[in-house]
Amino acid sequence: MDLFLFDFDETLYNYDFRYRLPALSLVTGVSQYRLAKEWWAAGFEKRAEAGEWPTSDEYLAEFEEQTGAHLTLEQWRETRMLASTRIAGSVDALRTASTLGAVGVLTNNPSPFAESFSIMAPDVAELVGDNVLVSSDLGVRKPDAEIYRLALERFGAKPENTFFTDDSAANTAGAAAVGIHAYQIQWVGDTPQTAALQDAVARFAARTTG
């Protein structure tokens, strides 16, 4: 059976940090500048995505230690959702893929994302079920080859029978390097080219039947 893996941010949902940072500042009382400088610019989010703080409690405690901002999981989730907008055409492509093989999400995100996924993206969760692979759980980020190998192992899939789409050229190249059929979803200005993604899914599925 074919496997179709989709990235999440900028692939299934648009993510705009410009909405998230002011919301975080508002709920914590810490300036946007300090939050951005002490957490994101200092590299803590990437470390979290690589699994350094594998639970939400550990992540939120470290976030407070570094920024002085006390944040609950619910506040993390709500501010994250403010910055996320469903890309209807991409979710439709995922739905099409679900009729053609197994489907899943493979994303670079921290532990609160993994715990909150079904609430933040119920439409996607309905399609993929428990097949949500988050880098913080796997202990490695895209585009490291190990994350793709772990994904293949999770599904018992062969790379040549796996389709992966992501907005990042580096991430699609990482997947291609281990033999996965990788497709980079293109954006023209603020518009993702979801019709082309639908076509790419169909072409991949057709290779085994036509």
The token duo for 64 is 């407070």
State the sign of the Cα–Cα–Cα–Cα dihedral 152, 131, 87, 200: positive
What Å distances lie between residue 141 and 18, 52, 77, 155, 198, CA to CA? 23, 11, 21, 18, 26
What pLDDT score does 129 carry?
A: 96
Per residue of the chain (210 residues), give pLDDT as tens. 899 999 999 999 999 999 999 999 999 999 999 999 999 999 999 999 999 999 999 999 999 999 999 999 999 999 999 999 999 999 999 999 999 999 999 999 999 999 999 999 999 999 999 999 999 999 999 999 999 999 999 999 999 999 999 999 999 999 999 999 999 999 999 999 999 999 999 999 998 654
Question: Could you give the CA distance from residue 90 to residue 76 in angstroms, rounded to a whole number?
Answer: 25
Q: For residues 4 and 97, is the Cβ–Cβ distance under 8 A?
A: yes
Question: Could you give the CA distance from residue 22 to residue 208 in angstroms, rounded to a whole number?
Answer: 48
What pLDDT score does 210 carry?
A: 45
Q: For residues 7 and 171, is the Cβ–Cβ distance under 8 A?
A: yes
Burial 158-182 (b: 16+ CB within 10 A, else e): ebebbbbbbbbeebbebbbebebbb
pTM for this model (two decimals):
0.96
pLDDT in tens, 110-128: 999 999 999 999 999 999 9
Strands 102-107 and 132-134: parallel
Pseudo-torsion of CA 1, 172, 176, 94, nearest 10°? 10
The backbone torsions φ and ψ at residue 180, rounded to the nearest 5 degrees and listed phi first, read: -80, 145
Q: Is 185 left (phi over 0), alpha (psi -120 to 50) or beta?
A: beta
Q: Please name the residue that has the structure tokens 């899914």.
A: 201
Please give the domain boundaries of the chain with CATH numbers for all domains: 3-15+86-206 (3.40.50.1000), 17-82 (1.10.150)
